[in-house]
Amino acid sequence: MKREAPKSIADYTPLFFPGLMLIVFFVIPFSTMIAVSFFQRDPSGFYTPDFVFTNYARFLTPFFGKVLGFSLMLAVMVAICCVAIAFPFTFLLTKSPRKVQTVWLVCLLSVLSLSEVIIGFAWSTLFSRTAGITNLFVAVGLMNEPVALLPSFWAVLTGMVYQALPYTILVLYPALVRLDPQLLEAARTLGASPTRAFFNVVVPALRNTIVATLIMVFVFALGSYLLPQILGRPSHWTLSVLITDQAIYQSNMPFAAAMAVFLVLMSLALVGLTMLAGRKENAL
């Protein structure tokens, strides 16, 4: 079915409402945030209209550079862990009976109904010394006494992976379901083991899907706010936490806006790379 080009203004009518929502809820707030990021902070707790680059220059200071680097590193690790766990799990799930797939998908959707607050406090209880998992290790003789596993970097990483994993599985599931099973049958016929067929056939066939999923999880983890505060120390706080700290507690709205602009631009750039990769794949 060939798509015809619009011939009159009336053909653009269906785009009016989505375009209006995009302008109202994204273009206007984002433009306001960009403008505020160039304003000058007022010592009284407000800001005055100006055009200075001081707020962006603070990214070059060691403290905020360290926070930025940590935020990017944490988001990358969360994305890699999620895809490394979700891809083989989803592949095995697609090979299961339909009823088993339905049960797992319902369980994943139920996990998505949990808020970040519930997830954070659930993991903080599980990692605590009094009621945590280390008490089970003591009971089976693996440890002499229970210890607290938080606050720590690994607690933050575990909580964020748990939160993003259901999204990762649900994104990978449609692509793996549509994968032609004859590809694996051909690899097995040629003598490849199941593991070798998985890495040499399935993974290359879904290379662009994996890259797009990595970018999606990276953007999702980059905006994490509560879990680093609940499960980590101040040294484990991400840029999103500092944005709230600067805007609410430090009353430095221009600098908070500059950090928020940086996060949004990075997210848009990654989404653009995903769309570009998809177009190249379609062109091939």
Distance CA 122, CA 244 (A): 23
Per-residue pLDDT reduced to its tens digit, 47-67: 788 888 888 888 778 887 788
CATH number of 64-283: 1.10.3720.10
Q: Say if residues 231 and 120 touch (Cβ distance below 8 Å).
A: yes
More confident residue, 15 or 88: 88
Distance CA 85, CA 15 (A): 39
Extents of the domains making up the chain: 64-283
Please report, to the nearest 10 degrees, the dihedral formed by the alpha carbons of residues 219, 224, 227, 229 taken in order.
140
| Average pLDDT over every residue of 14-36 | 86
- DSSP string computed for 41-61: EPTTS-EE-----HHHHGGGS
Residue 69: pLDDT over 80:
yes
Per-residue pLDDT reduced to its tens digit, 130-180: 877 888 888 888 778 888 888 889 999 999 999 999 989 988 898 888 887
Amino acid at 242: L
Residue 79: per-residue pLDDT: 92
**Signed CA dihedral, 245, 248, 249, 252: sign only:** positive
